[in-house]
Structure 1
Amino acid sequence: MNKSVYIDTLGCAKNEYDSEVLLASLIEKGFEMIDSPEDADILIVNTCGFIEDAKIESINHILEMGKIKGEDKKLIVCGCLSKRYHDELLKEIPEVDLFAGVNEYDKLPDIITKLTSEQSLEFEEIDIVGDEPSTSLEYNKRNLETGVHSAFLKVAEGCNNTCAFCVIPVIRGPYRSKKLENVIREAHDLASKGVKEIILIAQDLSVYGRDLYGEIKLVSLIKELCKLDGIRWIRLMYMYDDNITRELIETIKSEPKICNYLDIPIQHISDNILKSMNRKSSSKSIKNTIDMIREIIPDMCIRTTLLVGFPGETSEDFSELMDFIKENKLDRVGVFKYSDEDGTEAFKLDNKIDDDIKDQRLASIMNEQMKISLKKNKEKIGQIMEVIIDEIDGGSIAESIESSEPIFTYIGRSRSDAPEVDCEITITSDREHRIGDIIKVIIEDAMEYDLIGSEVED
């Protein structure tokens, strides 16, 4: 009888991708994936260790799996937290049978096979957290849930930026691009499985290919992806503004499959804070990039991530950030409070900000962004847009008051919305659809972060 595996994945889309690759390798070894940890023989927790809240969540999930484990199961911990704190975890959580970092996913299937066959393991196999990342990224098979219509595609690993608040280069190593032909091959696999939306991810997507080819190859990559049959939407995420070129934006404009959507995590707008963060951008360069994007594609949806409470952030710095939000009216804004992380340059800085001030600043930005988002959403009332269906709302069918025709309810997203982080659209229709269908919807009502509409004839 095949051994069964349950994977608990925490953190970002890159972790989700890694879990899918690991699971595909395990299935090739004869393991079976199941959705119940209580019924699984192997429990795997793929952890996040980026900020304090993520660390706490990961530890809680490990401890929860430890309670479920009992004597008959094996517990494996991998990912960022395991890489960053494996010495402490070895001492504090003895119920874990195997630790692996972020660079050892390819070793895990063979070791798990040995672990479940009761063969004796050397200590090096029990603690396979290594220091040296792979120098190249290969083509990867992935195990996707049945019916998945939207999927992340990781095109690079690691990061060469040295942002003062970030531990990613320490955890995941230097930037390594995946060969263009390997990315295309993986995308072809996704299309063959019915995926209609591909979301390109990397720690910094905007420099894809420079380490391999001596020049940035993102434009070449997305042009090749646009040739794939079956793929309807291509979305670009995690783009640093200093490498967003006019050529890239013109390409997005000219290729109908590429969504008018860019995720640009600027973090701040004050030059004082940007310099202290060791960011390559300046206030002027960020604003110039936004102006260039909107000049070429006026309806480009721009998403950003901001960090408040960085050491030394004055009230003047924060006011500058608030003014930027009010003046530029970005479409999507996520805000995080600075987390003091050992191993980063910011950890050594003085003038730390009190938590209550961080909370106030985060709330101020989100309150302002809520007003901006509501206004932008109301402007969409009456517009007809393409929407991809993510959910059938409870699978329920309501009867129309005016007629005996059934009314179906769906939850979907427009091209301006990435899954899980952006707006949802509640749709009514007299037609029956499947998850992943792309339909035309007229927007009839708007809230701060969500829309309501109904399907219209093509």
Structure 2
Amino acid sequence: MLELPVIDRPREEASADEAGSKDSRGNYAFISLGCPKNLVDSEKMLGHLALDGYTLVSEPQGSDFVIVNTCGFIDSSRAESKAVIQEMIDLKQAGRTKGVIVAGCLPERLGGANLRAEMPEIDHIVGVFARDEIAKVADRLVGNVNEQREVFRPAPIRALDDRARLRITPSHYAYLKISEGCNRTCTFCSIPMMRGKHATKPIEEVVAEARELAADGVKELMLVAQDTTYYGIDLYGEMKLVELIEELEQVDGIEWIRLMYLYPVNFTDRLIEKIATSPKVIPYLDMPLQHVNSKVLRRMSRRVNRERTEALVRKLRESIDNLVLRTTFIAGFPGETEAQFEELVDFVQDMRFERMGVFPYSIEPGTPAVKLDGHLPEDVKAARVDRLMQVQQQIAFEFAESLVGYELDVLIDGNNGDGFSIGRTFADAPEIDANVYVRGAEGREGEFVSVEITGRDDYDWVGEVVANDA
């Protein structure tokens, strides 16, 4: 496993020692955008390039080329990807880098020809499932070979192997992708267009990757997929998430297993019991619900209704001690009435999700929701997002206040340079949730530290290392 230090920037820009080896084939900069699943793809590409002799540098300026691994999920993410690409093209035209390679979901979403027509200065394009050919593409760019400037491959029947990554997360935590693609037919979602059908990574391969990560110092594994609860159905003919968890529990060195992107269907009693009793699965579940009104859910093709949704949330609360639930909702879906939105507001107030995100409905060309009636004005969607987040803010503040005075295990992620270390409790995933600002934990990055929570700062906490743990 190759390792890279974490970069504290709004978007992930991979960095390394600028002094490349004498036999380097060239140097390059790397920018990774989008979700953790995309981040794993970035790390795999970095691994291929390192093994092929390319040297990673901190900044695009002065590099032989720049790779931008893009996101194409919604309009705002596509706009961000294009803005970053244009920034790199501007550097190239100013003579400050020699080439620009664009990879990932944006080319898959738009098509290579369309992207090249819009941004002809791009040198090479690499699709999502051609990521393992990135070194060959770099060879063509550095060698001034203009053949095969677009490389796309069909979605694989089995998930790609993610071992031998060069990681851009801190050494003590890592994302572990357990499957690729999605078989759901949510009417608002373009992911199947970019990532294909669900492809389960075999249990033995996931476990082998986990062992590799643990040997490299990883203590927290975050299991990610487009649909985590679907794991195993396509490959084994039945759900195998419980069996996977049982195998991962045996991996020495892994102390926390965090479950992300759990679709609310396929939550069996057996899975809930495993989460509740596992010595390593922490009581934090990321479960995107998207809405609660049954009619809206039906128009979304979520294959669940309010009754089942509410029953599942209550069952999880009753079965799993100290459970923290993260979810996401879409506000302003086509046809959403004021009454249906108020039903969602009431549901959020009643369920009291500790962590929550809200997105305005985004028109995604090619998805079934585009053809639905009742599309709402942008200002209405924005107002509904604001209203729902205001409700959630108070809930999150009250949750944060409820933990003041408690002693909790905190995983230290780094130092803010102002006398505080920055860490996370079990209730918080990296980048998206709250932090704990800790006094007395200097030099303990990557360690679990017992911390007394002494106060809160909006969503975040402040605390001090307990004396007997110092």
TM score, norm. by length of structure 1: 0.94
Secondary structure of 2:390's aligned partner: helix
Q: How far is 1:114 from its partner?
A: 2.9
Q: Is the 8 Å Cα contact of residues 308 and 336 (structure 1) preserved in structure 2?
A: yes
1:110 is matched with 136
Equivalent of 2:310, from 281, 287, 292?
287
1:412 and 2:412 correspond:
no
Q: After the TM superposition, which residues 333-412 of structure 1 pair with which residues of structure 2 at under 5 Å, given as runs? A: 333-394=356-417, 396-397=418-419, 409-412=420-423
Q: After the TM superposition, which residues 14-163 of structure 1 pair with which residues of structure 2 at under 5 Å, given as runs? A: 14-70=37-93, 73-85=98-110, 86-118=112-144, 120-122=145-147, 125-130=148-153, 132-140=154-162, 141-145=164-168, 147-163=170-186
Q: How far is 1:96 from its partner?
A: 0.7
Q: How far is 1:121 from its partner?
A: 4.2
Count of residues in Structure 1 that have an aligned counterpart in Structure 2: 441
Distance 1:146-1:267 versus aligned 2 partners, 3 A rule: closer
Secondary structure of 2:156's aligned partner: coil
Structure 1: runs of 5 or more not aligned? 398-408
Q: How far is 1:108 from its partner?
A: 2.2
Q: Is the 8 Å Cα contact of residues 246 and 292 (structure 1) preserved in structure 2?
A: no
Q: How far is 1:434 from its partner?
A: 2.4
Code of the aligned partner of 2:424:
R
Q: Please give the alpha-carbon distance, in whole angstroms, between the structure 2 residues aligned to 1:341 and 1:111.
A: 30
Q: Please give the alpha-carbon distance, in whole angstroms, between the structure 1 residues aligned to 2:53 and 2:400.
A: 49
Question: Deviations along 1:363-400, whole A, 9 cap, x unmatched?
Answer: 11111111111111111111111100112121x55xxx
Q: Is the 8 Å Cα contact of residues 139 and 185 (structure 1) preserved in structure 2?
A: no
2:335 is matched with 312
Code of the aligned partner of 1:84:
R
1:220 and 2:243 correspond:
yes
Code of the aligned partner of 1:389:
I
Q: Please give the alpha-carbon distance, in whole angstroms, between the structure 2 residues aligned to 1:432 and 1:312.
A: 53
Equivalent of 2:224, from 194, 197, 201?
201
Code of the aligned partner of 1:23:
L
Single out whichever of 241-250 and 160-169 deviates more from structure 2: 241-250
Q: Is the 8 Å Cα contact of residues 103 and 126 (structure 2) preserved in structure 1?
A: yes
Q: How far is 1:39 from its partner?
A: 2.6
Q: Please give the alpha-carbon distance, in whole angstroms, between the structure 2 residues aligned to 1:387 and 1:263.
A: 19
1:400 is matched with none
Q: Please give the alpha-carbon distance, in whole angstroms, between the structure 1 residues aligned to 2:191 and 2:170.
A: 32
Secondary structure of 2:381's aligned partner: helix
Q: How far is 1:230 from its partner?
A: 1.2
Equivalent of 1:454, from 464, 467, 470?
464
Q: Please give the alpha-carbon distance, in whole angstroms, between the structure 1 residues aligned to 2:431 and 2:48.
A: 27
1:270 is matched with 293
Question: Deviations along 1:186-208, whole A, 9 cap, x unmatched?
Answer: 11111111111110000000111
TM score, norm. by length of structure 2: 0.91
2:19 is matched with none
Q: Please give the alpha-carbon distance, in whole angstroms, between the structure 2 residues aligned to 1:37 and 1:207.
A: 39
Question: Deviations along 1:8-61, whole A, 9 cap, x unmatched?
Answer: 111111111100001101111111111111132121111111111101100000
Q: Please give the alpha-carbon distance, in whole angstroms, between the structure 2 residues aligned to 1:51 and 1:145.
A: 24
Code of the aligned partner of 2:303:
K
Q: Please give the alpha-carbon distance, in whole angstroms, between the structure 1 residues aligned to 2:345 and 2:256.
A: 33
Q: Please give the alpha-carbon distance, in whole angstroms, between the structure 1 residues aligned to 2:146 and 2:444.
A: 47
Q: Please give the alpha-carbon distance, in whole angstroms, between the structure 2 residues aligned to 1:34 and 1:246.
A: 49
Q: Is the 8 Å Cα contact of residues 415 and 442 (structure 2) preserved in structure 1?
A: no
Q: How far is 1:145 from its partner?
A: 4.1
Q: Is the 8 Å Cα contact of residues 159 and 175 (structure 1) preserved in structure 2?
A: yes
Q: Is the 8 Å Cα contact of residues 283 and 321 (structure 2) preserved in structure 1?
A: no
Equivalent of 1:445, from 430, 435, 455?
455
Code of the aligned partner of 1:435:
E
| RMSD, aligned CA | 1.4
Secondary structure of 2:130's aligned partner: coil
Question: Deviations along 1:275-309, whole A, 9 cap, x unmatched?
Answer: 00111111111111111111111411000000001
2:281 is matched with 258
Q: Is the 8 Å Cα contact of residues 152 and 199 (structure 1) preserved in structure 2?
A: yes
Q: How far is 1:313 from its partner?
A: 0.5
Question: Deviations along 1:296-347, whole A, 9 cap, x unmatched?
Answer: 1141100000000110000011010000011111111100000111010011
Q: Is the 8 Å Cα contact of residues 371 and 448 (structure 1) preserved in structure 2?
A: no
Q: Is the 8 Å Cα contact of residues 242 and 285 (structure 1) preserved in structure 2?
A: no
Structure 2: runs of 5 or more not aligned? 1-22
1:403 is matched with none
Q: Please give the alpha-carbon distance, in whole angstroms, between the structure 2 residues aligned to 1:452 and 1:209.
A: 41
